[in-house]
Chain A
């Protein structure tokens, strides 16, 4: 693959490019799911190809080809340079300098997740489903996924980096329903479970079978639970929902391409401005957000990003103050700070974009019970159900699968259909406690959408449960 990438880069330079990079990828992924004790899906997918990105007179061009041969490499390079030359307008682009790397990176693993027999994966799902059975539960499902990817990046500046990556994950869902309503419970995370950049040992360690009875029982119990009442009150949010809160209200707004408007027509922009760096108060002193592509087992863990920038831990918010952005080499040069490191493409057929890698809410101290103990009246939220946030990443509304009222420092009644809403810096300003490292959990999301044509990024987030005061809870639906 290295030779093909070099061929593509050479062809691009010969075609008039001042800069070029090529990524060749061979990926195999498996998705297995069972539903109501039957196999729902056993998919084993392989995809390979090469993507070539060029700069011609300051204009980007990108083209790809599924053929991993010389013709595919050369033709992709040719189309990319043609597209760049045709781009309207005057262009001027600089890239932050990097030291060209010649290196390789391999995800640490005990057992390659692709090598685990499909039959074992199916059996694991069926066993997990078994535990969720409950008369009120109408649909149970269990799912696991595995991925192995070989990727080579070559640039015209001399970067040559090989990656050998694996991912895997899983989860379970139980949906209970009666004549009027339906209620869903999931473990370990909603919307497809959770994944990590790790071997199959991660999936085995999830304990899907162990957690299944609780998930089934809670789904059934939610049918009888009262609707979460509307109030301005204290919200304690579990680590899983905090992950999405971090993702939507700190991850996306700090993507510097959004700050510069390049996602404006689709995913939106950001309430942040380049000049906010180092001065904007994002939240309370308890708020510490870090981008860290070196986190062990993170879905955003790598040796180098898709521009060849080495993985580096970067503070984004420190004690509530904005300290960093997620950047590309281009946006880093534009803002005059940093060197990139967050450029990722979801496949060989897409151009790299500024994406989250692993973005964490750093732990504070204490336990969840200690967070609850200091709440006279409030709501404890657990496991995301719905999410929405405006185009500047300010006004958000989240719903969770389950909630409990908090009375006099302890969990009380179970509540259903709980939502909370807020405005990003106000909400983070109301943060007054984050639980400690023992409560910190690393999750992996595989459905982060961005770009046109669209791309699904796989990102990692770690968080502990956190407490927020004066939160608008329970927006009343129509």
Chain B
């Protein structure tokens, strides 16, 4: 892999300005995607991209390129400079990250970084073989992504993060089940176990029943609550959305709005997640409390939104990749604290009468300010009766205000799972939510879709 930090420093040196910031993303990854137990979309990627932002005379502009030769650097600097010169002056531009004490984190595994196409194909084959007669759909992917940031204010460092993800949907025309595992070390990902779990769930979904719309008690598996929380968080826990009055937290900071069992943080330092030392602006990562014991505590910030907020607000190290910078700070390491339940069965017993949801599909943000989301359940929706999992259900449409879902929480499992939230668009950036299974007293079903299966 190209030496990312060296490239970042060369880019800074090539530019002229009062402030210069370079972000290099280098990627080596492989994706063995399979369908019907056959690899059909295998993708090997090697790329380096350089994002260069120049500030001069109170004007800022940026350019990006994946050309790393001498001409490439010169042209990149010229284009970034031209972009800055074309911009009107902005007296309130945020400063750049300077030197700082960075935390030590895990997250870089040599074995994972060195996986090649043969190993990636073999790990996909492990899932396919383990599923036996049941067709499986999914992927095994692994990659090493290096982020280097250099600024004229003195920050200069790089970090390499590895990730491995196995996803399996076991399905026929009439049944389907889903499972996944994500980790920064491939030794903690077992594609065969993932496939077996998906097959086991699928085996219980035949002859699914309909369910009338209504408000139900529910148990949400980690994949389901993880995705719901991530979608909610894009607006709710964003400092920029807070300033722009799109966040659920507007006017509610310090109030207890969720069940006291609910504590949420953004914690990129947790070794159980996908740890990072600094964000895409070079600001150190830290654990950011968002909800403590049901009380709304705060949002995440990047340099620009923090500067705009004033009142000595500082960045919490949540700047997204350069291509996503326009969205403002994003909590990419959500962590919902576990509870006291020893098992999902215990949550099912707590719910007594309700529904169990393995996974949600195609979420839409209906109303960000109220945290209203819609989506469908899939690949393992079950009725809960008499404190036990009962008959399978058809896929259900739900329209829920997530604050309502979190307002009364009978319990959470002690164990948490890292749910993959990345779809691997653009430059590789793996992220996930560390979440337990959760029981809720309110989950609003607003319609019904088809039966499980493909």
- A-side interface residues toward B, CB under 8 Å? 31, 33, 38-49, 59-66, 79-80, 82-84, 86-89, 91, 117-119, 121-122, 126, 138-139, 175, 177, 179-182, 260-266, 268-269, 271, 349-351, 353, 385-392, 394-395, 397, 399, 417, 419, 421, 423, 449, 451-456, 475-478
Name B434-454 residues within 8 Å CB distance of A.
442, 444, 446-450, 454
Minimum CB–CB distance from A109 to chain B (whole Å) comes to 21
CA distance A173 to B246 in the complex (A): 14
Q: Contact between A82 and B423 (Cβ–Cβ < 8 Å)?
A: no
Q: Contact between B44 and A80 (Cβ–Cβ < 8 Å)?
A: yes
A42, A88, A117, A261: the one within 8 Å of B39 (CB): A88
CA distance A417 to B32 in the complex (A): 42
Q: Contact between B35 and A477 (Cβ–Cβ < 8 Å)?
A: no
A82, A394, A456: the one within 8 Å of B117 (CB): A82
Minimum CB–CB distance from A151 to chain B (whole Å) comes to 16
**Chain B residue with Cβ nearest A248:** B362
B399 proximity list for chain A (CB < 8 A): 397, 475-478
Q: Contact between B43 and A350 (Cβ–Cβ < 8 Å)?
A: yes
**Chain A residue with Cβ nearest B48:** A66
Q: Contact between B425 and A454 (Cβ–Cβ < 8 Å)?
A: yes
**Chain A residue with Cβ nearest B247:** A182
Q: Contact between B83 and A475 (Cβ–Cβ < 8 Å)?
A: no
Q: Contact between A42 and B87 (Cβ–Cβ < 8 Å)?
A: yes
Q: Contact between A349 and B47 (Cβ–Cβ < 8 Å)?
A: yes
B40 proximity list for chain A (CB < 8 A): 60, 262
Count B interface residues, CB 8 Å. Answer: 103
- B-side interface residues toward A, CB under 8 Å? 29-49, 59-67, 75-76, 79-80, 82-84, 86-88, 90, 92, 116-118, 120-122, 124-125, 128-129, 135, 137-139, 141, 167-169, 171, 178, 215, 244-246, 251, 325-326, 361-370, 372, 374-376, 378, 395, 397, 399-401, 404, 423-426, 428, 442, 444, 446-450, 454
Q: Contact between B450 and A42 (Cβ–Cβ < 8 Å)?
A: no
Minimum CB–CB distance from A410 to chain B (whole Å) comes to 28
- List 28 interface pairs A-B (beta carbons < 8 Å), by A numbering: A33-B326, A42-B62, A42-B86, A44-B63, A44-B64, A44-B80, A45-B65, A46-B76, A47-B64, A49-B66, A86-B122, A91-B38, A121-B86, A182-B368, A261-B137, A265-B137, A265-B168, A388-B363, A391-B376, A391-B395, A392-B449, A394-B449, A417-B367, A423-B449, A452-B139, A452-B141, A453-B45, A456-B425
CA distance A351 to B171 in the complex (A): 25
Q: Contact between A264 and B169 (Cβ–Cβ < 8 Å)?
A: yes
A351 proximity list for chain B (CB < 8 A): 41-43
**Chain B residue with Cβ nearest A422:** B447
Q: Contact between B31 and A453 (Cβ–Cβ < 8 Å)?
A: yes
Q: Contact between A138 and B244 (Cβ–Cβ < 8 Å)?
A: yes
Q: Contact between A386 and B364 (Cβ–Cβ < 8 Å)?
A: yes
Q: Contact between B447 and A83 (Cβ–Cβ < 8 Å)?
A: no
Q: Contact between B65 and A264 (Cβ–Cβ < 8 Å)?
A: no
**Chain A residue with Cβ nearest B65:** A46
A180 proximity list for chain B (CB < 8 A): 369
B442 proximity list for chain A (CB < 8 A): 478
Q: Contact between B66 and A395 (Cβ–Cβ < 8 Å)?
A: no
B43, B83, B137: the one within 8 Å of A118 (CB): B83
**Chain B residue with Cβ nearest A423:** B449
CA distance A423 to B40 in the complex (A): 30
A421 proximity list for chain B (CB < 8 A): 397, 446-447
A385 proximity list for chain B (CB < 8 A): 366
B32 proximity list for chain A (CB < 8 A): 83, 87
- Among A79, A117, A262, A453, chain B packs the most CB atoms within 10 A around the CB of A453
Q: Contact between A44 and B83 (Cβ–Cβ < 8 Å)?
A: yes
B43 proximity list for chain A (CB < 8 A): 62-64, 350-351, 453
CA distance A49 to B84 in the complex (A): 27
Minimum CB–CB distance from B55 to chain A (whole Å) comes to 11
Q: Contact between B66 and A264 (Cβ–Cβ < 8 Å)?
A: no
Minimum CB–CB distance from A174 to chain B (whole Å) comes to 12
A87, A386, A392, A456: the one within 8 Å of B365 (CB): A386
CA distance A83 to B34 in the complex (A): 13
CA distance A399 to B395 in the complex (A): 20
B33, B363, B395: the one within 8 Å of A452 (CB): B33
Q: Contact between A83 and B42 (Cβ–Cβ < 8 Å)?
A: yes
**Known contacts A61-B42, A453-B141; is A39 also within 8 Å of B60 by CB?**
yes
